[in-house]
Amino acid sequence: DTEVTQTPKHLVMGMTNKKSLKCEQHMGHRAMYWYKQKAKKPPELMFVYSYEKLSINESVPSRFSPECPNSSLLNLHLHALQPEDSALYLCASSQLPRYLPVNTEAFFGQGTRLTVV
Amino acid sequence: GQQVMQIPQYQHVQEGEDFTTYCNSSTTLSNIQWYKQRPGGHPVFLIQLVKSGEVKKQKRLTFQFGEAKKNSSLHITATQTTDVGTYFCADNTDKLIFGTGTRLQVFP
């Protein structure tokens, strides 16, 4: 199984809502990532989890709250978002770079297309 | 901060023509990866380059890592309509940072 599964595929939420994005992988990868991608722009790194611990937070506003309940799951909790947060949110997983030269390709999910109204 | 720039930003080619995208980093890279993202899709891994001066081929695609490990290129020979998409290089030195991308359009 070389898939990363993200749910939901689409989400529309109001600025006062609380919602969560979910991501799951069963490849035994110990690094998991959240990226945000605006139209016609590259994916922008938000968070990195290594061995279920948050290792990188790219100065993301606190209205985005990541969680890694176990080695297969990654959540992104959303609260009080702004319309400019509307984007495609991509989850990815990989082996950790320290295992070079083993292939550390990142596998991406299909993404959640989020619209904040 | 860490920046990975790609040129050109857009490229429109006639089917059968060649295409090249260039990736430049402000810092030395331990390794670089290339991804393709089809319109409406998600990034899909193409290849990883680790060694200085490394050249790898995948059918019509040729990837190169610069001698100084600060630049890379992807060359597609005889483009096909299935090559349409955005090609990203990504710095995988300590976290996966995507380049600005090159969007390729192929006209039949």
- Write the DSSP string, B77-98: SS--GGG-EEEEEEE-SSS-EE
> For position B97, what pLDDT does the model report?
92
- Show residues of chain A in contact with B101, CB under 8 Å: 41-42
Taking 70 as the threshold, does the pLDDT of residue A31 lie above it?
A: yes
Task: Count Cβ atoms within 10 A of the Cβ of residue B20 and give its class: 0-12 exposed, 13-18 middle, 19 or more buried.
Answer: middle
Express as a percent the part of chain A with pLDDT over 70: 92
Q: Which amino acid is at A44?
A: E
Are the beta carbons of A45 and B96 separated by less than 8 Å? yes
Chain B, nearest residue to A90 by Cα:
B42
CA dist A31 → A51, B74, B93 (Å): 7, 27, 14
Q: In angstroms, rounded to a whole number, what is the distance separating the alpha carbons of residues B31 and A12?
A: 38
Taking 70 as the threshold, does the pLDDT of residue A103 lie above it?
A: no
Interface test with chain A among B96, B97, B100, B102, by most A beta carbons within 10 Å:
B96
pLDDT higher at A101 or A14: A14
Token pair of A6 as six digits: 């993200």
The predicted-structure confidence for A37-81, as pLDDT tens digits, reads as follows: 999 999 999 999 999 999 999 999 999 999 999 999 999 999 999
Express as a percent the part of chain A with pLDDT over 90: 90
Taking 80 as the threshold, does the pLDDT of residue A99 lie above it?
A: no
> For position B41, what pLDDT does the model report?
96
- Show residues of chain B in contact with A104, CB under 8 Å: 31, 33, 48, 92
Q: Number of C-alpha atoms within 13 angstroms, CB side, residue B96?
A: 33
The predicted-structure confidence for B63-83, as pLDDT tens digits, reads as follows: 999 999 999 999 999 999 999
Of the candidates A26, A22, A27, A24, the one whose C-alpha atom is nearest the C-alpha of residue A9 is: A22
Mean pLDDT taken over chain A:
93
Are the beta carbons of A42 and B92 separated by less than 8 Å? no
Which pLDDT band holds residue A94 (cuts at 50, 70, 90)? very high
Are the beta carbons of B101 and A42 separated by less than 8 Å? yes
Q: In angstroms, rounded to a whole number, what is the distance separating the alpha carbons of residues A117 and A83?
A: 6
Residues near B59 by Cβ (< 8 Å), separated by ≥ 6? none
Q: Is A13 helix (H, G, I), strand (E, B) or coil?
A: strand
The predicted-structure confidence for A18-30, as pLDDT tens digits, reads as follows: 999 999 999 999 9
The stretches in chain B having pLDDT less than 70 are: 1-2
Q: In angstroms, rounded to a whole number, what is the distance separating the alpha carbons of residues B97 and B107?
A: 30
